[in-house]
Structure 1
Amino acid sequence: MISNTLTLKQLEALVWVADLGSFRKAAAHLGTTQPNISARIAALEATLGFSLMARDAGSVEMTPRGLDVLEQARKSLRAVEGVLDVAARPDLAEDRLRLGVTELIATTWLHDFLRALRQDYPRVTVELTVDLSRTLDAELAANALDLALQNAPFSHAATGEITLGSYGYAWVAAPDLMSGIDPSTGVSGMTAPILTHARHTQAFQELQAHLAPGPAPRLVPSSSLNSAILMAVNGMGVAMVPRAMVAGHLAGGTLAEVDLGWQPEPLDFTARFHVDRAAGVVRKAAELAARVAAEDQLSGSH
């Protein structure tokens, strides 16, 4: 049997120091102090009889033997998660999930997902980031996020991906503005400003390509689609936005849809994580997100 001097908390500290690259970040993630993390690592090294990592000006580099121990530490922690799975006791899992989502998910089915996650994992704390997909992509690659619910395209690879579905676009405007819109002229004939995604996004680039090479309407890109929608409600232009984000406005009559004969490609969403370092709750959360997204789309609420 393993002595009590080698504990799961020590293995957990090792994994997070290695993944986050610093004792300070590991301490913040685990909700403890840097000296506490240092003590756990020191005790583990004393028990094993060799150094696991080299420390230099705040940075951490695993030794070759440390990397071998790290691999086994991950397996040990996953084995404990497996015990909870066999016992059907996810409520005993205690962890912190660093979750990143885009604005579309934040304004549609995110709260349903968070409620379902809390029901299954009441002791898991969620740290939520809402940002542009390309920012979430970079943060996932840098191990600043455990799970990203985001739309393609992606600049960095992720070893774990679960499809969440596609979301099409709609052209919408305030009812008072509709009388001045002639759908037969198409997008290029719009006299009102076009409110839509930020310049770097695929949808904005598709819109520019569609309008080229002729004269184009005034384009008003925004990193916040909610702001673009609010501007449309206030009659400040025609918005090209995901239909799911304006379903409530269309149902309530504060926005009306117009067919301009063209739309960008739908947004394809994926739950993304890194299999090699993700805790069991991360994969379970990704699978739960897929179920909630499917239920949301089947309900027709968006």
Structure 2
Amino acid sequence: MIGHIFTLKQLEALVWVADLGSFRKAAAHLNTTQPNISARIAGLEATLGTVLMQRDAGSVRLTEKGEEIVQAARRVLRQSEDLITIAERPDLMQDRLRLGVTELIAGTWLHPYLRKLKETYPGISVELTVDLSRNLDRVLSSHALDLTIQTAPFASPVPGAIALGDYPYGWVADPTIAAALSGKVTVADLTAFNVLTHARHTQSFVELAEHADTTGIAKARFVPSSSLSSCLQMAVEGMGVALVPLAMAERDITAGRLVVIDADWIARPLQVAARFHADKVAGYVAQAAQIAAEIAEMYRT
């Protein structure tokens, strides 16, 4: 038997140094110290009698043999996780899930999702990042996030993705502005007020700007913001007409604080997906993505 030759902690350290490219980052992710990580790697190299990585100034590069052993280490870690799954003891899983979500998710079903995750994996702590989708895309590609719940388009492909449905946009305004915009209106009509939108590089703003260019609508009163929540709040306070995912405005609409405006143009629905590096992350991350699909479906129905 080889159980006494090396440990899962050594294999885990090797995998995370390989993925994050840094002993320091691996130590931070595994909630330990850099010397500890170095000792685990050194012990593994001594046991196997081979150099697994070259340590240059500020960077780490796997050797050819190290590349092979990292792939084998991933399989061993996955198989060890299978023991917990077979025993039906998800409570034994101890780890930190680095989760990134967009503001759309944070403003709709994030809390029920986090509660379900806690029920399923009580030993998993969640490190949450809320950001624009393109920023989440970049961080996921660098392996600094394990799972993102974000909106298309996606700049970087990943081997793990679960579609979570479409989220329609709508025009909303406070009752006073809505009364002045009764009936079918055009986007040009909306520019009598401030037009509150998401950030300039986002899908909805780009489409709105293209529509304005095509139809000759002046864009002087377009007011983009990186915060959809701020757009909503400004609309509630009568500061303009907002173009937002209707799911985020549902409570304000139900309460009568906002009214949906019937306009002749609307941005395409947002496509949402749970995304992860299926070939590298722990198996529970894929299950966390599946839980997201279940919660999203419950919210939509």
The residue aligned with 1:229 is 232
The aligned counterpart of 2:145 is: 145
CA distance in 2, matches of 1:140, 1:211: 33
Once residues 224 and 183 of structure 2 are traced to their aligned partners in structure 1, the CA distance between those partners, rounded to angstroms, is: 21
Cα deviation code 1:237-272 (max 9, x no counterpart): 000100000000001111111101221110010001
**Greater CA deviation, 181-190 or 36-45?**
181-190
Q: Which amino acid aligns with 2:54?
A: A
- Matching residue's letter, 1:111: H
Query: Which residue of structure 1 aligns with residue 242 of structure 2?
Result: 239
Mapping for residues 205-220 of structure 1, pairs under 5 Å: 205-213=206-214, 214-216=216-218, 218-220=221-223
Alpha-carbon distance between aligned partners in 1 of 2:3 and 2:175, rounded to the nearest angstrom: 72
Amino acid in the other structure paired with 1:210: H
Q: 1 CA distance for matches of 2:80 and 2:89? A: 12
Q: Deviations over 1:121-145 (max 9, x none)?
A: 0111111100000000111111111
Structure 1 window deviating more from structure 2 (14-23 vs 257-266): it is 257-266
Contact 2:175-2:257 at 8 Å conserved across structures: yes
- Per mean C-alpha deviation after superposition, the further-off stretch among 179-188 and 59-68 is 179-188
Question: Which residue in 2 is equivalent to 1:197?
Answer: 198
* Residue of 271, 276, 285 corresponding to 1:273: 276
Task: Give the aligned partner of residue 170 of structure 1.
Answer: 170
Counterparts in 2 of 1:57 and 1:14: CA distance versus 1, 3 Å: same
Whether the 8 Å CA contact 2:52–2:66 is kept in 1: the answer is: yes
Q: TM-score, normalised by structure 2?
A: 0.97
Aligned to 2:255: 252
CA distance in 2, matches of 1:189, 1:281: 50
Alignment gaps of 5+ in structure 1: none
Farther off after superposition, 2-11 or 221-230:
2-11
Amino acid at match of 1:229: L
What is the TM-score of this pair, normalised by structure 1? 0.96
2:218 maps to amino acid: A
* 3-state SS, counterpart of residue 179 of structure 1: helix
Match of 1:110 in 2: 110
- List per-residue Cα deviations over 1:217-249 (Å, max 9, x = no partner): 510011100001111011000001000000000
Whole-angstrom CA distance in 2 between matches of 1:222 and 1:183: 27
Count of paired positions: 298
* Distance in 2 of aligned mates of 1:144 and 1:10: 20
Distance in 2, matches of 1:82 and 1:114, equals 23
RMSD: 1.0
Hey, what does 1:19 align to over in structure 2?
Answer: 19
2:297 to 280, 288, 294: 294
Letter in 1 for 2:296: A
SS of residue paired to 1:212: helix
**CA separation in 1, counterparts of 2:287 and 2:178?**
45
